[in-house]
Amino acid sequence: MKLPKSIARGRHGEFSPNELIIRINTNIKKSHIKETLLHEILHGIYWSYNIHDEDKEERIVTTIAVGLSQVFTDNPKISKYLEVNI
């Protein structure tokens, strides 16, 4: 299997807004896989909820909380894998 370019370049994962997919390199420690998955989920929320660098802290934090709740509600396997209970 050919690795995506970002993973082949040493990245642990990537979020593709064009494909709406997250890719994770599973050849790393399980703790790093979980951290990378959460990191890429946050990139997805940032993009999906149209957060901008100039947004105020409260909008960013509230939007991320809403986005994470939605991700964990819609994806119980991810919640279970990350050991998240909402």
- Write out pLDDT tens, residues 77-86: 999 999 887 7
Q: Which domain holds residue 64?
A: 5-82
The structural domain count of the chain equals 1
Res 2 pLDDT > 60: no
Predicted TM-score (pTM) of this structure: 0.84
Distance (Å, rounded) from C-alpha 45 to C-alpha 3? Answer: 24
According to the model, what pLDDT value does residue 10 have?
A: 75
13 burial type by CB count under 10 A (0-12 exposed, 13-18 middle, 19+ buried): buried
From residue 27, give the alpha-carbon distance in Å to each of 12, 40, 70, 75: 9, 16, 28, 23
